[in-house]
Structure 1
Amino acid sequence: MKIALVAAVMASLACAVNLTVAQELAKAPLSVPAAAKVADKAKLNINQASVEQLDALPGIGEKKAQAIKDYISANGPIKDQKQLTEVKGIGEKMAAQIAEHVSF
């Protein structure tokens, strides 16, 4: 009888500990796998982006975003970072900064 009582108490304690651990884990921030981080940082296709999407890029305002769209309309798709420097108002430094966030 005492053994059964001790076993029941031990089982209850084990359940309580597991519940406490589970509650703490539920509060902890989840680690994001590397693949999910890459998905979050998916690059914007510069040739298909809207003016609003381009405007959201670092260092690009509405005027440069519109200049990119105008360039694409007049010359066709931008194929690489070097060609991006042909857009009015975008130099090598800006093109390098943008290239980190876009695909061509």
Structure 2
Amino acid sequence: MRQFSLRVTSLALVTFSLWTGYAMAATSVNINTADAKTIAESLDGIGLARAQAIVEHRQAHGLFKSADELTQIKGIGSAVVERNRQAITFDTEPEKPTAKKSRASNSKRADSPDT
């Protein structure tokens, strides 16, 4: 009976470990701006070669509009896309540089005394 209990406990631990590892494997990544290394480190089932293919596809065909477009890349199937769907983000607009607002040195704050 004790061996059965240990086997059940071991099986439960292995199952839990696999499930939590699967659920936490992918990290959010913008596939329209990330480099190949970042994509490979962020997505489950995507190595450096496939990540480089993602970057090359993006450069040749423009920004991705949906995660499903990744299936156009050799070696990336719908199962890989589904496994990573929650982690795949994309901006369809290129990022614009933002200008920092400068404060004039002679500007007065509302709570500063007049001198």
| Cα displacement (A) at 1:71 | 0.6
Match of 2:66 among 51, 60, 80: 80
Match of 1:47 among 21, 26, 32: 32
| Cα displacement (A) at 1:42 | 7.2
Instruction: Name the amino acid aligned to 2:66.
Output: D
Map 1:1-104 to 2 at 5 A.
43-56=28-41, 57-104=43-90
Count residues in correspondence. 64
Unaligned runs of 5+ in 1: 1-40
Q: From the CA coordinates, give the structure whose radius of gyration is larger.
A: 1
Instruction: Name the amino acid aligned to 1:88.
Output: K
| Cα displacement (A) at 1:43 | 2.5
Matched residues in 2 for 1:98 and 1:49: separation?
15
Unaligned runs of 5+ in 2: 1-25, 91-115
- Change in Cα spacing, 1:76 to 1:61, as seen in structure 2 (3 Å) is same
Matched residues in 1 for 2:64 and 2:84: separation?
13
| Cα displacement (A) at 1:89 | 1.1
CA RMSD of aligned residues (A): 1.7
